[in-house]
């Protein structure tokens, strides 16, 4: 596995941990503001970072063969 692949997998794992933390923030402590912040961070880690890695790092010259 290459470096970008490992970073992408780690980012997704962190994102799912943030999703679980957002759920716990609402279910146990009733803190919706914290849950929204954790949810936004989770969205960033689950979607934005892996897409940037896939488009710009893993395939730097997709049109050139």
Look at residue 64 and give its three-state secondary structure.
coil
Instruction: Give the length of the chain.
Output: 65
Continuous H helices in 1-48 = 3-27, 32-43
Dump pLDDT digits (tens) for 10-51: 999 999 999 999 999 999 999 999 999 999 999 999 999 999
* CA proximity to 18, closest of 57, 47, 51: 47
Q: Which residue, among 51, 37, 39, has the nearest Cα to 8 in the 3D structure?
A: 51
What pLDDT does residue 65 have? 59
């Amino acid at each position: 596995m290459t470096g970008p692949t490992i970073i992408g997998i780690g980012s997704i794992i962190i994102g799912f941990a943030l999703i679980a933390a957002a759920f716990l923030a609402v279910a146990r402590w009733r803190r919706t503001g914290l849950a929204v912040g954790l949810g936004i961070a989770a969205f960033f880690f689950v979607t934005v970072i892996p897409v940037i890695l896939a488009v710009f790092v893993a395939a730097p010259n997709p049109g050139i063969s």
